[in-house]
């Protein structure tokens, strides 16, 4: 088994065919086919179903480990040349969409100025999609909605954020500026699916008041929840930053007393240690949130504003 074989298999997984993998690797298709055939003989397993053009279950397992090996190798040069004054390398960062919109332009600009040798690749997604990517090492770190209950992941809260009710102008509650959580009981709501971080926060708040919320639809994705509410499909409980301060339209953001703030935090695997580029981006992200986060309506940096403070596992820089 050698690195060219692993790289060929990962390229096929990423690009969908032997020919596309060859183009991505700047080689010819026959070389890719040879590498895969040798790898299959060595492992005694068929890794690619040639008729379906898909990875076999064994191929999927090998690709997962191959990605880890190749990424660890990619990190070695950056770590060796990095010191406090010169940091280089690649970092793969996942960010939930509502936070990415206001935070990533600032982070990427600061990274470029402070560490021009760092290349950041940003993946937008929901907490429920980003955490599996983090665990499987497809990304190096993720900014997600807490809590995260995984002993292999380190968590550092960044800020707390108000949860609001978003309703179209024609909704029965649209004339309200604030209301109590119990007043939502008669109204069907757009909510995240059970088990997601945001849904757990909302369900716990309702249970604390011995009530339940009526579900109109369950949507995994805050941005889609927001879009549906904008279009008048129903009212949704969303983070304050789901609606940019500059946006105007036929909608209302309504404060709901009894809803706790959600907590957004930086997460990364405990082992292996993150590369120098990822560590540098974490420091910049943490500093920017502390200095500028409060400029975002509904965002509250600082330990005193973290409802989870004292219960989460705090990691290292």
> What is the C-alpha to C-alpha distance for residues 104 and 57, in angstroms, rounded to an integer?
36
Taking only the tens place, the pLDDT of each residue in 90-140 is 899 999 999 999 999 999 999 999 999 999 999 999 998 999 999 888 899
The 3-class secondary structure across the chain, one letter per residue, is CCHHHHHHHHHHHHHCCHHHHHHHCCCCHHHHHHHHHHHHHHHCCCCEECCCCEECHHHHHHHHHHHHHHHHHHHHHHHHHCCCCCCEEEEEEEEEHHHHHHHHHHHHHHHHHHCCEEEEEEEEECHHHHHHHHHCCCCCEEEEEECCCCCCEEEEEEEEECEEEEEECCCCCCCCCEEEHHHHCCCCEEECCCCCHHHHHHHHHHHHCCCCCCEEEECCCHHHHHHHHHCCCCEEEEEHHHCCCCCCCCEEEEEEECCCCEEEEEEEECCCCCCHHHHHHHHHHHHHHHHHHHHCCCEEECHHHCCCCCCCCECCC
Give which of 292, 283, 291 is closest to 87, Cα–Cα. Answer: 283
Taking only the tens place, the pLDDT of each residue in 147-176 is 888 888 999 999 999 999 999 999 999 999
pLDDT at 271: 82
User: Token pair of 130, please?
Assistant: 């980003």
In which band, very low, low, confident or very high, does the pLDDT at 309 lie, cut at 50, 70 and 90?
Answer: very low
Residue-range domains of the chain with CATH: 3-76 (1.10.10.10), 88-158+263-305 (3.40.190.10), 163-260 (3.40.190.10)
User: Token pair of 215, please?
Assistant: 């579900």
pLDDT at 250: 87
User: Beta-carbon neighbour count of residue 129 at 10 Å?
Assistant: 16
Give which of 136, 157, 169 is closest to 61, Cα–Cα. Answer: 136
pLDDT at 312: 43
User: Token pair of 296, please?
Assistant: 């975002």
pLDDT at 171: 92
Side-chain half-sphere CA neighbours of 279 within 13 A: 18
Say whether pTM exceeds 0.95: no
Average pLDDT for residues 29-52, to the nearest whole number? 89
Angle CA(111)–CA(290)–CA(246) in degrees, nearest 5?
A: 85
pLDDT at 173: 93
CB 180 within 8 A of CB 213: no
pLDDT at 68: 75
In the block, which residue shows the tokens 């009530």? Answer: 211
In whole angstroms, what separates CA 121 from the centre of its chain? 12
User: Token pair of 21, please?
Assistant: 């993998």
Taking only the tens place, the pLDDT of each residue in 181-216 is 999 999 999 999 998 889 999 999 999 999 999 999
Partners of 263 in the β-ladder: 146, 160
């Amino acid at each position: 088994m050698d690195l060219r074989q692993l790289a060929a298999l990962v390229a096929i997984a990423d690009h969908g065919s032997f020919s596309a993998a060859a183009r991505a690797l700047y080689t010819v298709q026959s070389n890719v086919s040879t590498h895969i055939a040798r790898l299959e003989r060595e492992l005694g397993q068929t890794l690619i179903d040639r008729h379906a053009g898909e990875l076999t279950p064994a191929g999927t397992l090998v690709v997962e480990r191959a990605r880890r090996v190749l990424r660890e190798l990619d990190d070695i040069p950056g770590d060796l040349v990095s010191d406090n004054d010169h940091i280089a390398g690649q970092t793969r960062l996942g960010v939930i969409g509502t936070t990415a919109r206001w935070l990533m332009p600032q982070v990427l600009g600061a990274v470029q100025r402070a560490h021009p040798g760092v290349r950041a690749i940003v993946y937008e997604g929901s907490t429920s999609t980003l955490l599996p990517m983090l665990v499987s090492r497809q990304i190096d770190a993720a900014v997600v909605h807490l809590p995260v209950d995984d002993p292999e992941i380190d968590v550092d809260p960044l800020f707390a954020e108000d949860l609001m009710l978003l309703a179209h102008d024609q909704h029965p509650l649209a004339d309200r500026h604030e209301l109590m959580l119990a007043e939502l009981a008669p109204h069907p709501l757009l909510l995240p699916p059970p088990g997601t971080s945001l849904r757990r926060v909302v369900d716990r708040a309702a249970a604390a008041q011995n009530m339940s919320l009526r579900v109109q639809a369950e949507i995994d994705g805050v941005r889609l929840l927001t879009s549906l509410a904008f279009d008048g499909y129903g009212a949704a409980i969303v983070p304050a930053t789901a609606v940019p301060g500059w946006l105007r339209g036929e909608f209302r953001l309504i404060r709901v007393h009894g809803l706790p703030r959600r907590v957004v935090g930086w997460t990364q695997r405990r082992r292996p240690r993150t590369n120098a580029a990822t560590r540098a981006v974490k420091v910049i992200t943490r500093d920017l949130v502390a200095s500028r986060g409060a400029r975002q309506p509904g965002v509250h940096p600082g330990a005193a504003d973290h409802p989870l403070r004292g219960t989460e596992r705090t990691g290292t820089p």
